[in-house]
Structure 1
């Protein structure tokens, strides 16, 4: 006769995918009930730690690689590639932006340099801490990227979670301080652009996952190329330099190269890469639109308006193309 505790364990185990439950459910139930007296099983419940452990296993088994059905293996590959590409893009955009800011301030005379330093020290303690954290923590995207490609997964997870923290401040600041509220749509889109890749790194690069690799297996060269593109996009067109311009430009050029120069045809698992890039492009498009929308009622320079709209249109088109390619490639592989 099934006890209430066993029924509760089986209910929690339904979080696991069907293929995993078929192989392991009976064994897991026996382990959980092993040292629980049968007379007390109708008054007991799974502990919070056991539920959390099963939930984590459910995520890991759905992003599996070995012994899992093909759809779960493909999902895991797509999430890992999305995480890797997004972390690379975040790292390059942050590094190029901060180098340009320092170079601009240092090359414009003492007054400009003093204004740059005052941005860190000119406010109260809270403002100073937030400003310094907003400058230093995003540099950890670079640490996270190189930790991933060198298979230092714990370091990568810690680095990307810390790097994503500053994106939460615009959402939290109006609740805990007298800082003026940012546009909620832009703050939300920007936080998603930071936190979805960070959470993907934590979820998809589990102990059973393969090491992160880039097409061509040249992470240093890929990082340098992304830094050059993001920095040049701002240096050449400084009038376009809002927060979305550089990463969106780098994404558009990288995807066009991937599509047109044969990298896609030569890459194993191109369908999961196309799916990963489509999701990343959708995130960048959301940031692009959210960054532009609050300014539509103001007299914007024509070059900025045309450039931002053209960039949004290019992102939307590429997302559609990548989605179609991903569906075709994944369907052909079944």
Structure 2
């Protein structure tokens, strides 16, 4: 006879994928009920710790744990690659933005440098601490990138979570106001991009996952190339770019180069890589649109053409990557 506690355990275990439940459910239920007497089983429920461990196991088993069916293996690989690509992109953007900013203020005379330092020291201790954190925390995307590729997963996860924190402060500021500023949608989109990257890294790069690796290229060279692309896109149009310009430009160039490299000759385009880049492209499209839409009517003509071209290229490239990924999955019967 099934007791109430056993029924509750089985309900929670439904979070696990079918293949895992078929193999392990009975064993897990027996383990949970091993030293619980019959009377207690009619009055108890799973503890929060047990539920949390089952949720964590459900995430690991759905994201490509050992012995998972191919569809789960592909999903896990795609999420891991999405996290790696997104962290790389934001790391390069953070470094390039700060290098260009420091170069600008240090070469424009004492007044520009004074304005820069005043942002950290001229508004009180708490405001100064917040400004310092907003400036330095995004640099931890770089730590997360290299730590992940060296298989220091805990360091990578912690660094990514801290690097994403500054995107929450504009949200708090937004909620504290009685009106919605024109860039509110962009603030939300930027936070979604950062936290999707950090949480994907934490969820998919679990202890049962294979070590992270770039599909091609040495980690340092790839990072340097992304920094050059990101910074160069700003230098090419000084004063004529918005907050999403460099990020989107770097993605478009690298994703297109990857697609052409993988598709040449008889090479098969891996579904997981294409799906990861398509998901990242979709998020960047939202960032691109929300960053420019409120100001579209007042943008200079050249910049308006540039951002609209970026948006169109994102749509086309993301759709192409999604088609490539879907075609590979169908051809392999996933």
* Partner residue in 2 for 1:10: 10
Q: Hey, what's the Cα distance between the residues in 2 that align with 1:149 and 1:179? A: 43
String of CA shifts for 1:229-257, please: whole Å, max 9, x gaps: 00000011123332110010011011111
Alignment of 1:282-297 (within 5 A): 282-297=282-297
Alignment of 1:77-96 (within 5 A): 77-96=77-96
**Retained in 2: the 8 A contact 1:88–1:145?**
yes
Shift of 1:304: 1.2
Cα 1:267–1:28, aligned 2, differ >3 Å: closer, same or farther? farther
Cα 1:154–1:179, aligned 2, differ >3 Å: closer, same or farther? farther
**Retained in 1: the 8 A contact 2:182–2:294?**
no
* Partner residue in 2 for 1:137: 137
Q: Hey, what's the Cα distance between the residues in 1 that align with 2:217 and 2:268? A: 13
**Retained in 2: the 8 A contact 1:92–1:142?**
yes
TM (norm. structure 2) is: 0.95
- Which of 322-331 and 182-191 deviates more? 182-191
Shift of 1:217: 4.3
* Partner residue in 2 for 1:325: 324
Alignment of 1:1-334 (within 5 A): 1-175=1-175, 183-262=183-262, 270-297=270-297, 299-334=298-333
Aligned residues: 333
Unaligned 5+ segments in structure 2 are none
- Which of 184-193 and 222-231 deviates more? 184-193
**Retained in 1: the 8 A contact 2:160–2:198?**
yes
How big is the alpha-carbon RMSD for the aligned residues of Structure 1 and Structure 2? 1.9
Tell me the secondary structure at the aligned position of residue 206 of structure 2: coil
Unaligned 5+ segments in structure 1 are none
Cα 1:326–1:37, aligned 2, differ >3 Å: closer, same or farther? same
**Retained in 1: the 8 A contact 2:174–2:184?**
no
**Retained in 2: the 8 A contact 1:145–1:156?**
yes
Tell me the secondary structure at the aligned position of residue 133 of structure 1: helix
Q: Hey, what's the Cα distance between the residues in 2 that align with 1:57 and 1:265? A: 40
Tell me the secondary structure at the aligned position of residue 272 of structure 1: helix
**Retained in 2: the 8 A contact 1:171–1:182?**
no
String of CA shifts for 1:54-103, please: whole Å, max 9, x gaps: 01110110002421111000000000000000000000000000000000
String of CA shifts for 1:120-142, please: whole Å, max 9, x gaps: 11213332122111101000000
- Which of 179-188 and 58-67 deviates more? 179-188
- Which of 267-276 and 174-183 deviates more? 174-183
String of CA shifts for 1:4-62, please: whole Å, max 9, x gaps: 00000000000000000000000100111111111111110101111111011101100
**Retained in 1: the 8 A contact 2:262–2:269?**
no
Q: Hey, what's the Cα distance between the residues in 1 that align with 2:182 and 2:214? A: 36
Q: Hey, what's the Cα distance between the residues in 2 that align with 1:198 and 1:128? A: 26
